[in-house]
A and B are shown apart, each in its own frame.
Chain A
Amino acid sequence: MTALSSPPPTRLSVADLRGSSARRRRETAVRLAFLAAASLSILISLLIIISLIGEAWNFVSSVDPALLFERGWFPRRDLYGIPTIVAGTLLVAGIGMLVAAPLGLGAAIWLSEYASPRARRAIKPVLEVLAGIPSVVLGYFALQVISPTVVDTACPGATDPFNMAAAGIGVGILITPLVASVAEDAMYAVPRSLREASYGLGARKRTTSLRIVFPAAISGIVAALILGLSRGIGETMVVSIAAGATGGSLFSIDPCAPGQTMTAAMTALATGSDQVRGASLAFPSLFFVGLLLFVFTLVLNLVADRFVRRFRVRY
């Protein structure tokens, strides 16, 4: 060691530890680039809100408020019956939930509690494939297959091939994988010790699943249902194809009859099956409906979020 003839030791200063200035400049540049990318999402949501509110305000300020509560949605004739399309939306989403809640939760309980690891590994990707089927395909399936078979047998008399029930069932099939996967995640996350304690007391598998695991995962299960409802409300193509998205619709909550939802009303306006030339309010009405839809789904998503956070039991 002493043989080393190195230059006399100097004191280390802060400047020595900083590294080269080029390296620091590069660090700052990279950091700023990533920060900009992250900030973009805020810009996007601001753009969404501004563009929706801007045109929606144009609509609200120039439309006669009485027209908003007409019993029918006929933008071509300047009748903007908001209750009509809101009722249609809730009807379709409700039917969808009637389908998706039992199917999704049943699949979730079985996958989480009963399935062998091999069955789980095999079935989960299949559910993912189902989740990946585009909504336009399910819409056509609902119209061509579900409507003439399931709906036609369930509804009395001759039913219109376009009807809300077929659309609702299509939406239900579409959101089943979402409900199943979120609920299954929640139940799978319940610690094994709880199940073992339950078995230790002599409980059956069924009792353990329903009385122990299900309540323990309830926050995630409720969140799964709310998220499913939110997806169902925002679902567009299934309804546009299967519910009979004609130009307008009278107020109707008959699932066996054609009807209009908020989303289908928007595509109908945009594709020109209801091309409006004279009435200038049709374009801004699109944004008003969009704003309503945005608020509905945002509230539901926030509630789901809150549910997970507020009622989650930490293990």
Chain B
Amino acid sequence: MAATPRNQAITAAEAVRRSLEGAGRTDWRSIGFQAVLVLLLVLTLGVLAWLLVVVFVNGTPVLLERGTDFLTSPLASQPERAGVGQAISGSLMLMAFVAIISFPLGIGAAIYLEEYAADTRFTRLVNTVVRNLAGVPSIVYGLLGLAVFVVALGDVVGPGPASGRSLIAGGLTMAILVLPIVIITSAEALRAVPGAIREAAFGVGATRWEVVRSHVLPYAAPGIFTGTILSMARAFGETAPLILVGAVIGGFNVRYDSILEQLQGRYTALPTTVYDWARKPATFEGNVYAAIVVLIVVLLLVNALAIYLRNRFERRW
């Protein structure tokens, strides 16, 4: 072979053999292409790692030094005294609003769309509206809350010093914000339940509600739980709408005598506290990172729970 001149014609069999073996050619372009893809992916994951490292390296010293004091102290103007106590309780109350209001409404709407509704113009309208609501920027929901709850209904949701900027206004805004997400994820979970399950129940004389309650919902439950947990996480990290509907920025010091008073009073949340501190002088830097650590740890736990639930109970039909 070595003696064969380059330009000499080769036999057809030889050409096929060379082609199949690659004949010593390395496909550098394919290797390069795959390398670029892997590089892009590593870059994406690397940013996540970089972010987590920066946050934990800067945040944990403050958390270790302050301990539970940081988790329970109220907002304050000196960094060494300021803590996230009010922010955590405010965020938990907002979560309660989301769970109480948007879960039943969202799952109910999903059941209607998937199990009850015929393919009418109304149903298609609702489907379109829900999909578009999910794409509306969160700050626009803040404007909705500002116009409806703070301004129009201010005397109901937050009379007195809060002047409408109350926990109720924030909670309702958050509940509306996650409602489309709850509807979409629940509808997906319901759609994944095969029709044969429903037909079996109808066949023994169950009514539609009985079919849904005792057959469809149990099978769709893991999917619905996963979706609702993720929507909680979304609400937990959401900042912009709360700023518009007036979560407290700066500090406040009020003792509440009753639950109602607290609901109608001023509040703050963990992400708004992060935002507030982020704009303060550099002495607050440790506090910002510590608050972010708290925020991210909660979110990672919630996400892990959702992923676990999905993998544990996922069913292939």
Q: At the interface, yes or no: B209 with Cβ under 8 Å from chain A?
A: yes
Partner of B233 from the list A132, A233, A272 (CB cut-off 8 Å) is A132
Q: At the interface, yes or no: B307 with Cβ under 8 Å from chain A?
A: yes
Nearest CB of chain B from residue A116's CB, rounded to whole Å: 13
Partner of A234 from the list B30, B111, B137, B246 (CB cut-off 8 Å) is B137
Chain A residue contacts of B45, Cβ below 8 A: 123, 126, 130
Interface size range on A against B: 35 or more
Contact A293 B132 (CB under 8 A): no
Among B33, B140, B299, which residue has the most Cβ atoms of chain A within 10 A?
Answer: B140
Chain B residue contacts of A297, Cβ below 8 A: 135-137
Query: Chain A, 157-197, contact with B by CB distance < 8 Å: what is the 0/1 string?
Result: 00000000000000001001100100000000000000000
Chain A residue contacts of B41, Cβ below 8 A: 106-107, 110-111, 123
Q: At the interface, yes or no: A216 with Cβ under 8 Å from chain B?
A: no
Assuming the A-B contacts A39-B126, A123-B41, A132-B233, are A270 and B112 also in contact, with contact meaning beta carbons closer than 8 angstroms in the complex? no
Q: At the interface, yes or no: B148 with Cβ under 8 Å from chain A?
A: yes
Contact A133 B51 (CB under 8 A): yes
Query: Chain B, 41-77, contact with A by CB distance < 8 Å: what is the 0/1 string?
Result: 1011101101100110000000000000000000000
**Stretch from B1-9, B155-163, B195-203, B271-279 that touches the partner:** B271-279
Contact B135 A227 (CB under 8 A): yes
Nearest CB of chain B from residue A22's CB, rounded to whole Å: 11
Contact B34 A270 (CB under 8 A): no
Q: At the interface, yes or no: B208 with Cβ under 8 Å from chain A?
A: yes
CA–CA, A205 and B31, complex, Å: 10
Contact A38 B109 (CB under 8 A): yes
CA–CA, A285 and B187, complex, Å: 37
Query: Chain A, 196-221, contact with B by CB distance < 8 Å: what is the 0/1 string?
Result: 00000000111000100000000000
Interface residues of A, dominant DSSP: helix
Q: Which B197-253 residues sit within 8 Å CB-CB of chain A?
A: 207-209, 230, 233-234, 236-240, 243-244, 246, 249
CA–CA, A188 and B287, complex, Å: 43
Nearest CB of chain B from residue A24's CB, rounded to whole Å: 8
Contact A107 B40 (CB under 8 A): yes
Q: Which B139-159 residues sit within 8 Å CB-CB of chain A?
A: 139-144, 146-148
Q: Which A23-73 residues sit within 8 Å CB-CB of chain B?
A: 23, 26-27, 30-31, 33-42, 44-45, 47-48, 51-52, 54-55
Chain B residue contacts of A241, Cβ below 8 A: 275, 278-279
Chain B residue contacts of A227, Cβ below 8 A: 135
Contact A23 B137 (CB under 8 A): no
Chain A residue contacts of B105, Cβ below 8 A: 37, 40
CA–CA, A275 and B113, complex, Å: 44
CA–CA, A241 and B274, complex, Å: 10
Contact B44 A103 (CB under 8 A): yes
CA–CA, A270 and B140, complex, Å: 13
Chain A residue contacts of B148, Cβ below 8 A: 47, 51
Q: Which B81-134 residues sit within 8 Å CB-CB of chain A?
A: 104-106, 108-109, 111-113, 116-117, 125-126, 129-133
10 contacts between A and B (CB under 8 A): A44-B179, A106-B44, A110-B41, A133-B237, A133-B299, A136-B274, A236-B137, A266-B139, A267-B240, A294-B140
Residues of A at the B interface (CB closer than 8 Å) are 19, 23, 26-27, 30-31, 33-42, 44-45, 47-48, 51-52, 54-55, 102-104, 106-107, 109-111, 114, 123, 125-130, 132-141, 143-145, 173, 176-177, 180, 204-206, 210, 227, 230-231, 233-237, 240-241, 263, 266-267, 270-273, 286-287, 290, 293-294, 297-298, 301-302, 305
Residues of B at the A interface (CB closer than 8 Å) are 27, 29-30, 33-34, 36-41, 43-45, 47-48, 50-51, 54-55, 104-106, 108-109, 111-113, 116-117, 125-126, 129-133, 135-144, 146-148, 176, 179-180, 183, 207-209, 230, 233-234, 236-240, 243-244, 246, 249, 271, 274-275, 278-279, 285, 288, 292, 295-296, 299-300, 303, 307
User: Contacts A107-B40, A290-B140 given; 15 further ones with Cβ under 8 A?
Assistant: A23-B207, A34-B111, A48-B143, A106-B40, A110-B38, A132-B233, A132-B299, A135-B237, A136-B237, A136-B271, A137-B295, A140-B274, A173-B47, A234-B140, A270-B142
Closest 8 CB pairs of A and B: A234-B137, A106-B40, A134-B237, A37-B108, A51-B147, A34-B112, A236-B240, A110-B37
